[in-house]
Amino acid sequence: MQDLTQKPDVKTQGGAVLKLDGITKSFPGVKALDGVELELHAGEVTALIGENGAGKSTVVKTLTGIYQPDGGSILLNGAPVRFATPQDAADAGVTAIHQETVLFDELSVAENVFIGHAPKNKFGLIDKKAMFDRTTEILNSIGAKIDAHVKLKDLGIASRHLVAISRALSVEAQVVIMDEPTAALSQTEIEELYELVDTLKAQGKAILFISHKFDEIFRIADRYTVFRDGQYVGAGLMKDVKEADLVQMMVGRAVEQLFPKREAEIGEEVLTVAGYSHPTEFEDINFTLRKGEILGFYGLVGAGRSEFMQSLIGITRPSKGAVNINGDVRVIRSPAEAIDAGIVYVPEDRGKQGAILDMPIFQNVTLPSLKKTSRDGFIQLANEFALAREYTERLDLRAASLDTNVGALSGGNQQKVVIAKWLATKPRVIILDEPTKGIDIGSKAAVHDFMSELASEGLSVIMVSSEIPEILGMSDRVIVMREGRMVAELEGDDMKPETLVRHAVGINSTGDAA
Amino acid sequence: MSLAENTPRHIPDRLRSPLQAKLVSWESLLLAVGIGIFIFNSLASPYFLNAWNLSDATFNFTEKAMIAFAMALLIISGEIDLSVAAIIALASTAMGVAMEMGAGTPVLVLVGLGTGLLCGAFNGALVTKLGLPSIVVTIGTMSLFRGISYIILGDGAFRGYPESFSWFGQGYVFWVITVEFVIFAILAVIFGVVLHKTNFGRMVYAIGNNPTGALFSGIRVDRVKMILFLLTGLMSGLAAVCLTSRLGSTRPSIASGMELEIVTMVVLGGVNILGGSGSIPGVVIAAFVMGLVTFGLGLLNVPGIVMSIFIGLLLIGVIALPRLWAMRRKS
């Protein structure tokens, strides 16, 4: 790896509690980690930084025994270790606070903290007194004013979060991993979390802090490590680095022309969205989409993009706002009405929302088009096979037969079935939500190629993506969302990786209002 | 990743013919079991192979099967209705009240069907409008509907239904073919066509396999479920008409415990209790199998309580055997 030579000297000074060396992890079709390095030091916070898909979560899962690495070694206090199960990792003192820890509403705080490893008395039964005492001790150590006897359902979000943290600390931890711990917290709760991090530092724990937010990284991290596309890019001390450098490292590459964007003739306005709002998920979304245009929606995970798109097709109702499609003002209350209006949505969650995995390909494709393929409500199999064949072959689907269940196909081919299903309804607007997430390179290229072809045939495309190369390579125009709001609309030369990231994370190193 | 090919690859419709698929199916296995029981019964009792006895035996399943058809659709869609036997009680009681008020046969039938439909609407509304789980809702309405019957009737009974009303449960269409059996046969065809040949049936499968995916595909999931609850209620009303007509009286304990026999019939017919798969032919065969078993055991003077043991064993056996077989083949 060419970056190894750039490794700052501080990393080699020793004293690392935990060290990852050349860790590799592959999944079918994807190399999630490719020889990555990471060092965590006692009493210090190391921030792990990278775009969505850079491999951060995979590292966490490798460190906590959920995944086994294919290659490389994990050194704990200098000795190589293997974490075959999450329990192994916990026994070795590596613990994680996940984005969403599963807690149990009907159990008490102490039971939640010690679930699975409660102290036992001499009869092998749970030693309740010890459990409650230990819990109170842990709660005190992080300054949480919570009664260990209270049932979890009676606590608010912030207190629940502290319980999750206490659970992580209930094992004798040397290493604490915090995976986007502030994602669901309000500003005051975040401040409290920062204090907690300081407490843990003072106790000499090595902390891995994963976050998208630059302000908090600069606020609490001592060191940083940057990953990109499953590879180690660089590491160093926070005091030696500037935001702009980190953004550069995250985005890195020049955006290659991997993307077969064709020149499409952009025509009249097809869809206008005005003042679309939702009580909690998004606010005041306004844009116009033209015929033949590909409009990209960029933002971090949780920026409200999918929620907005799902509201546009009637899954959730907006509190305010209207849609004008081809000059016709409509309120869309259900996906059925969206299909009638010519707006279709290819969801991110293929298995749950996109396809019906246990049903055959042809039945998946024709599901929204049954009115067209049937006669007087009676199924016409020949029509169904014909329609399914027309669109799946156009997408170059690879399947043994059209009555194969969709669940038996690879991710990329499943996605082709879902796209075929929606194209068969002959829509005016197609919304693609993370259309190439988790699919192999070959299918990715096919999906991109096809998207381009559709636009040049006059279809209007909205593409939600967290992958910058994809957004920049495919879009005519990009809208950036952050925390439920549109924060930028970029066109032409303004569409640069740094600009997108800056708007998405909300920093303004140039001094402009972000 | 062979993107180089320019001509799209041809994908065949099917690899196996539909006939081939049918041969190695649950339905064929069940049919084999049914034929086995038939042969066993004819050897075990000299009274079995008698047209009139066999005709009598159909009463063991015709009323249950009417409801089982609708229940099959409901279970395939991922819901269930455990209040069906209680609906029979309430519908029968309503007919009794109407009869006391001097209603004739046509009105009695309408009252029976109408009560069933209302009960179905109540269940359906609770499930689709309030988003409650159907198993809980219908366990509740099971007590509610039958409770109303008990309040109205107490220890008493309604008797004295008009002569013409007895046609439904006691009449014959032709030789040994009963009215109920004809209703059963017609319903089997109608439900079979609806589930297997219409868009509606396709939607039922889609909802049962993945309700979220179905919703995202533009299916009006709640509307389909509401229709299924209405259908189940209506069929329970129809079964109430037949059963009341056959017994000639209404007691509040009428049809008690029948809901579990109906669910058993549906599951025995190969319908996945978790939803998503199953067929009407399967339920039809299951109805016959259950009818044959009860009738055969009856001829051998096996008491009713022991009979339910056999039905239970049959259900567990038929469901467990293919699984055991698959496990053995794997190891």
Tell me the per-residue pLDDT of B250-302, one tens digit each, with 9 for 90 and over: 999 999 889 988 999 999 898 988 999 999 999 999 999 988 888 888 888 88
Residue A2 has pLDDT above 70, yes or no: no
Contacts of B15 in chain A (CB under 8 A): 400-401, 403-404
Interface test with A, best of B5, B9, B13 (most A CBs within 10 A): B13
* CA atoms within 13 Å, Cβ hemisphere of B69: 29
In this complex, the residue of A334, A359, A400 whose CB is nearest that of residue B209 is: A359
Nearest chain B residue (CA) to A314: B216
Please indicate, yes or no, if residue B43 is contained in any of the structural domains. no
Residue A389 has pLDDT above 60, yes or no: yes
Please indicate, yes or no, if residue B37 is contained in any of the structural domains. no
Cα B65 from Cα B51, distance rounded (Å)? 21
For residue B317, what pLDDT is reported? 81
Residue A253 has pLDDT above 80, yes or no: no
Burial A385-411 (b: 16+ CB within 10 A, else e): bebbbebbbbbbbbbeebbbbbeebbb
Show which residues on chain B lie within 8 Å of chain A, measured between beta carbons: 1-3, 8-15, 197-203, 205-206, 209-210, 212-220, 276-277
Contacts of A338 in chain B (CB under 8 A): 218
* CA atoms within 13 Å, Cβ hemisphere of A350: 24
Contacts of B219 in chain A (CB under 8 A): 335-336, 367
Cα A362 from Cα A382, distance rounded (Å)? 11
In this complex, the residue of B8, B202, B220 whose CB is nearest that of residue A363 is: B202
CB B190: neighbour CB atoms within 10 A? 12
In this complex, the residue of A354, A362, A403 whose CB is nearest that of residue B213 is: A354
In chain B the first and final C-alpha atoms are separated, in Å, by: 35
Residue B1 has pLDDT above 50, yes or no: no
For residue B95, what pLDDT is reported? 96
Instruction: Please tell me whether residue A241 adopts helix, strand or coil conformation.
Output: coil
Q: Which amino acid is at A347?
A: P
Cα A369 from Cα A373, distance rounded (Å)? 7
Report pLDDT digits (tens) over A255-287. 444 566 667 778 888 999 988 998 888 999 999
Fold topology of A256-342+427-514: Rossmann fold (3.40.50)
Rounded to the nearest integer, the mean pLDDT of chain A is: 84
Residue with tokens 């775009």: A51
For residue A4, what pLDDT is reported? 39
Cα A175 from Cα A354, distance rounded (Å)? 39
Contacts of A309 in chain B (CB under 8 A): none
Rounded to the nearest integer, the mean pLDDT of chain B is: 89
C-alpha separations of A360 from A132, A385, B96 in Å:
53, 11, 49
Verdict on whether the full-model pTM lies above 0.90: no
Contact between B209 and A374 using a beta-carbon 8 Å cutoff: no
For residue B54, what pLDDT is reported? 86
Mean pLDDT of all residues in A464-476? 86
Residue B186 has pLDDT above 90, yes or no: yes
Mean pLDDT of all residues in B148-174? 90
Nearest chain B residue (CA) to A371: B199
Contact between A378 and B199 using a beta-carbon 8 Å cutoff: yes
DSSP class of residue B58? G
Contacts of B12 in chain A (CB under 8 A): 400-402
For residue B297, what pLDDT is reported? 85
A1-93+173-252 and A256-342+427-514 share one fold: yes
For residue B310, what pLDDT is reported? 82
Residue A435 has pLDDT above 80, yes or no: yes
Nearest chain A residue (CA) to B219: A336
Give the gap in angstroms from C-alpha B172 to the nearest C-alpha of chain A. 33
Report pLDDT digits (tens) over B6-15. 455 688 888 7
Q: Which segments within B113-248 are labelled E, that is strand? A: 158-159, 172-174, 177-178
Cα A351 from Cα B210, distance rounded (Å)? 9
For A355-408, the three-class secondary structure string (H helix, E strand, C coil) is CCCCCEHHHHHHHHHHHHHCECCECCHHHHHHHHHHHHHHCCCCCCCCCCEHHH
Residue B173 has pLDDT above 90, yes or no: no
Tell me which of B213 and A115 has the higher pLDDT: B213
Distance, CA of A182 to chain centre: 15
Report pLDDT digits (tens) over B193-243. 999 999 999 999 999 999 999 999 999 999 999 999 999 999 999 999 999
For residue A260, what pLDDT is reported? 63
Sheet of strand A16-27, all strands in order from the earlier edge strand to the far edge: A30-41, A16-27, A71-76, A79-81
Nearest chain B residue (CA) to A332: B218
Contact between B209 and A358 using a beta-carbon 8 Å cutoff: yes
Q: Shortest CA distance to B85 belongs to which of B158, B148, B142?
A: B142
Report pLDDT digits (tens) over A24-37. 988 766 678 888 99
Contact between B216 and A345 using a beta-carbon 8 Å cutoff: yes
Give the gap in angstroms from C-alpha A247 to the nearest C-alpha of chain B. 33
Contacts of A379 in chain B (CB under 8 A): 197-199, 201-202
Q: What is the ipTM of this complex?
A: 0.86
Cα B164 from Cα B109, distance rounded (Å)? 11
Mean pLDDT of all residues in B138-165? 93
Report pLDDT digits (tens) over A197-242. 888 888 888 999 988 777 788 888 999 999 888 889 889 999 888 8
Distance, CA of A126 to chain centre: 38
* CA atoms within 13 Å, Cβ hemisphere of B97: 17
Contacts of B8 in chain A (CB under 8 A): 393-394, 396
Please indicate, yes or no, if residue B6 is contained in any of the structural domains. no
Residue with tokens 């107490």: B154
Please indicate, yes or no, if residue B7 is contained in any of the structural domains. no
- Radius of gyration from C-alpha coordinates of chain A: 25
Instruction: Please tell me whether residue A431 adopts helix, strand or coil conformation.
Output: strand
Cα B241 from Cα B248, distance rounded (Å)? 10
Q: Which amino acid is at A112?
A: N
Please indicate, yes or no, if residue B16 is contained in any of the structural domains. no
Instruction: Please tell me whether residue A27 adopts helix, strand or coil conformation.
Output: strand
What is the band of B49 on the pLDDT scale with cuts at 50, 70, 90? confident
Contact pairs from chain A to chain B, CB under 8 Å: 111
Give the gap in angstroms from C-alpha B202 to the nearest C-alpha of chain A. 8
What angle, rounded to 10 degrees, do the helices at B280-299 and B304-330 form? 130
Show Cβ contacts of residue B98 under 8 Å, excluding neighbours closer than 6 positions: B107, B108, B111
Interface test with A, best of B193, B196, B216 (most A CBs within 10 A): B216
Mean pLDDT of all residues in A399-410? 87
Q: Which CATH number covers residue B259? A: 1.10.3470
CB-based contact B119:B233 (threshold 8 Å)? yes
Cα A56 from Cα A66, distance rounded (Å)? 14
For residue A508, what pLDDT is reported? 59
Q: Is A147 left (phi over 0), alpha (psi -120 to 50) or beta?
A: beta
Contact between B213 and A353 using a beta-carbon 8 Å cutoff: yes
User: Where do the structural domains in chain A lie, given as residue ranges?
Assistant: 1-93+173-252, 101-171, 256-342+427-514, 356-426
What is the band of B5 on the pLDDT scale with cuts at 50, 70, 90? very low
User: How many residues are given for chain B?
Assistant: 331
Cα A46 from Cα A38, distance rounded (Å)? 9
Please indicate, yes or no, if residue B326 is contained in any of the structural domains. no
In this complex, the residue of A313, A402, A446 whose CB is nearest that of residue B3 is: A446
- Radius of gyration from C-alpha coordinates of chain B: 22
What is the band of B330 on the pLDDT scale with cuts at 50, 70, 90? low
Contact between B205 and A359 using a beta-carbon 8 Å cutoff: yes
Mean pLDDT of all residues in A80-101? 83
Residue A1 has pLDDT above 50, yes or no: no
Contact between A378 and B198 using a beta-carbon 8 Å cutoff: yes
Give the gap in angstroms from C-alpha A451 to the nearest C-alpha of chain B. 16
In this complex, the residue of A368, A389, A398 whose CB is nearest that of residue B218 is: A368
Tell me which of B247 and A301 has the higher pLDDT: B247
Count of domains forming chain B: 1
Show Cβ contacts of residue A98 under 8 Å, excluding neighbours closer than 6 positions: A60, A164, A179
What's the CATH number for A1-93+173-252?
Answer: 3.40.50.300
Residue-range definition of the domain harbouring residue B121: 52-319
Contacts of A358 in chain B (CB under 8 A): 209-210, 276-277
Cα A79 from Cα A358, distance rounded (Å)? 47
